[in-house]
Chains A and B, each alone.
Chain A
Amino acid sequence: MNRRAVLRAGAGLAGAGIVGGCLQTESRSVRSPPLVENRPDAVYYPTHSEGMEMVGSTTAGEYKVAAMYSYPHRFWEVTGADTNKKELDGSHAMHFMAVVWDPETKTVLPNASLTAELTKDGSLADQTNLYAMLSQPMGLHYGNNLEGDGDGTYTASIDIGSVPDDRVRRSGDFRGRFTDPATAEIQFEYSERARDDLPYQEYDDAGNRAALEPMDMMAPSATVPPEGELPGAVRGTATSGDAVFVVTVQDTVPAGIEGDGQYLAVFAHTPYNRMVLPSMTLSGSLADDSFALESTLDPDLGYHYGAAVPEVTDGDTLAITVDTPPQLARHEGYEMAFLTMPDAEVQL
């Protein structure tokens, strides 16, 4: 009998009232302490963190993918500026995660659509969309809480979807890339006991405006390089909703993007650990000229928001408007930040 069956059998015996408590022990609510009160509208220290187990990594088509799992996590889906908390349910066995990147440039892809199917002994344990999400220790990844079917050997079949051009523009050698879907299969051992042995830590200073250190993964992380290492000239920074915008001017427009003046590349990242903040709608205005800052994947610049402009004059003011905040799910500590994002101005 799988865990779910045990729970249901229990429900039959003990009645519905007890099931609530039973489910909670099953999902070890001790391991998800209550949220801190008065969470700031900013990045904050979560109540706890958990280790993760590397499941494996492999190559599929033009992608490299690594998968891992951790204890089931609460997380928040984001639609516009609204968050919707995904509650844990007693049938979830693990928080299953994957990171996808371009092997050559190690660029992490934030907009592939991932599906994971988990089978054990040839029968389906769960199949789900993996949400693009952001966590302090893990950075940008795809994940969801999945149901299992007891201890044993699982096969995770991960469908990596193509990235629509309408969603993110590609330039340079990334033109024409990430248009073919691919499937990766990874086998792994899972047991409740191994999962429960994963490191677990609670924090006394939960709620403080700070962030956990990223952990080591067998996958590259999507971070914006320090200002000194960014290509082009850094011309200023601004913050909005706790996000940092670093504005650079490139002397040439990346291949494949129309325009022959200069190129404004805006890098958006989290405070403290410089994790890329993808999936916003941004627009800019410079000297009475308004334009979209289009989300773009470029092999040299990485993920950024860009616009070709005739010329940037010293002392010009770039106004950045966030029409849509980062549309990706958030782990605890990020769910209050990057939602209400007022206009920002940068003197170039």
Chain B
Amino acid sequence: MDFDESLPRRQFVKAAVAAGGASALSACLGRAPRAGEPVPTGVSDISNLPQRQHAWNDRVRVDADGNVHLPRHQTFLYLTVDADGPPEDDARGTVEAALRTLDRAYERSNEGLVYSLAYAPSYFDRFEATLPDSVDLPEPRRLSGFENPTFDTQDALLHLASDRGDVVLEAEEAMFGDRSEANGVAVEAKLGDALTVDDRRTGFIGAGMPAERQAQAGEPISGIPDSLPVPEQSPLFMGFEAGFAGNQATEDYVTIPEGPFAGGTTKHVANLRQRLGDWYDEQSFAERVMEMFSPSHAEQGLVEGVGDNLGADSGIDAVLDPETIQQSISDHGRVGHAQKAARANRDADGNVRILRRHVESTDDDVASLHFPSLQRRLSTFEEVRAAMNGDDLTDNPAIRQRVNNGILEYIFVQNRGNFLVPPRRHRALPTPRPA
């Protein structure tokens, strides 16, 4: 595989993560910004690790406002179990041993590796027994009247994340490739001996990364207009920050409280393509603020630049009541994305219900978004997405299903998958009713 040596260093690492494979890894090891700097090692006693595979928040960077910054490089490996029917015990042993290798090799942090292995409803269909009622995990389905996604029904999803591109690559090579060492630790078992990679997707997030990646070799990627408008400081292609602490569920909140999978969570992962020509070229900054946050945010000038100034909370709770929304629609003919979605994203006590962990992607040279969301019950995600559709607001004809309706004009759902992220004790090929 050839890598364009003239690429700036950081871009080069992204290109290598996107390409994957042993040659990408070796190219990357020579070129990564911090190649050569040691990667902190993991633990030999896994009881030092949390039961929650999704316990990432206190292991990654957090800014002064308390907002979590997800690891910059991520890989999503969609996996199938190699045999029909329920997996055998030795496959289970292989998976557990392979994961222990990762745990020993890398500190569970943004400097090392954070990861989780999750299982789809179709995986549990291999068994005669069914999942207990304490786990709400429907098959993926269409969640708006205008989408026609491919459903990801592979057995499992391995989600790898690190601030170091060389780490996600090496971990992948250790688990599925030829690599016999991971961060100096001998690879005793490989996931590849029990599971096969059916699809591989890559993501990234962080200030500056989307702007750097909006063009490849001078050519805008699909979805990005010729004006190359993505702001330098933005962590996302659409030009704003997301995931303020006050607008995210806590890990506690999304954790399944009871039953055999207590300590786990459910995970929805969508992939959405973006088409941002009209978003940037046809709209003013104020209009983008209206459509992303709310018309009130624009009126009051609440958002500056990429939204850093919002601190720890988008302030969306002040504009969720039906009267404010109706007033905004009659004054501006628009409703905000965060505004619509947040309507269904609070419980009776005002707690946020879902934990979004989305990252950008340039897979296949298309600007897209991988959208994982964690929630105690998967159907909670479906309810929030229904609120984001805003069908109930289309009685005013200025709000069309896709137009003036938050950001729906610019995003196109390609894939949807649902998964159970079991607690650590059941992370290796669990049965639906583990003891």
Question: Residues of A with Cβ closer than 8 Å to B?
Answer: 4-5, 7-8, 12, 77, 79-80, 82, 84, 86-87, 89-91, 111, 113-115, 117, 123-124, 126-129, 131-132, 159, 161-164, 166-167, 179, 181, 183, 279-281, 295, 324, 326-327
Contacts and interface: CB of A to CB of B under 8 A. Distances in A.
B218 interface: yes
Contacts, number: 108
A12 B218 contact: yes
9 contacts: A4-B226, A86-B278, A90-B226, A123-B364, A127-B273, A164-B145, A166-B393, A167-B395, A167-B397
Nearest to B412: A127
Interface string B333-374: 110000000000000000000000000000010100000000
Interface string B400-418: 1111100001001000000
Given A4-B226, A87-B281, A166-B393, 13 more contacts: A86-B282, A89-B225, A111-B400, A128-B275, A161-B146, A161-B402, A162-B145, A164-B145, A164-B391, A181-B142, A281-B396, A324-B396, A327-B400
Contacts of B332: 79-80
B398 A91 contact: no
Interface residues of B, number: 38
A162 B146 contact: yes
Contacts of A279: 397, 400
Given A79-B334, A79-B404, A89-B277, A181 B146 contact: yes
A77 B144 CA distance: 23
Contacts of B364: 123-124
Contact of B401 (A80, A126, A164): A164
Contacts of A84: 282
B147 interface: yes
B222 interface: yes
B411 to A, nearest CB: 10
Given A129-B409, A161-B401, A164-B401, A91 B226 contact: yes
Nearest to B278: A86
Contact of A167 (B218, B220, B401): B401
Contact of A166 (B333, B391, B402, B412): B391
A80 B402 contact: no
A324 B397 contact: yes
Contacts of A295: 397
Contacts of A324: 396-398
Interface of B, secondary structure class, is loop
A150 to B, nearest CB: 14
B328 to A, nearest CB: 12
B415 to A, nearest CB: 14
B397 A280 contact: yes
A4 B226 CA distance: 9
A4 B398 contact: no
Contact of A181 (B148, B225, B397, B403): B148
A16 to B, nearest CB: 11
A77 B403 contact: yes
Most buried by A among B148, B220, B333, B364: B148
B199 interface: no
A323 B145 CA distance: 27
Contact of B394 (A129, A159, A166): A166
A19 to B, nearest CB: 9
Contacts of B393: 166
B219 interface: yes
B392 interface: yes
A111 B409 CA distance: 15
B423 to A, nearest CB: 37
B402 A113 contact: yes
A164 B404 contact: no
B223 to A, nearest CB: 8
Given A89-B226, A167-B397, A279-B397, A8 B412 contact: no
B388 to A, nearest CB: 14
B220 to A, nearest CB: 8
A339 to B, nearest CB: 12
A80 B396 CA distance: 10
Contacts of A281: 396-397
Interface string B287-311: 0000000000000000000000000
B186 to A, nearest CB: 41
B219 to A, nearest CB: 6
A323 to B, nearest CB: 9
A199 to B, nearest CB: 28
Contact of A113 (B145, B219, B397): B145
Contacts of A164: 145, 391, 394, 401
Nearest to B222: A124
Nearest to B393: A166
B234 to A, nearest CB: 22
A184 to B, nearest CB: 11
B150 to A, nearest CB: 12
Nearest to A178: B145
- Give 10 nearest A-B pairs by CB, closest first: A161-B146, A162-B145, A113-B401, A79-B333, A327-B397, A279-B397, A113-B146, A164-B391, A80-B333, A167-B394
Interface in B38-62: none
Nearest to B145: A162
A145 to B, nearest CB: 9
Contacts of A280: 397
Contacts of A87: 281-282
Interface in B132-149: 142, 144-148
Contacts of A12: 218
B219 A4 contact: yes
Nearest to B389: A164
Nearest to B218: A8
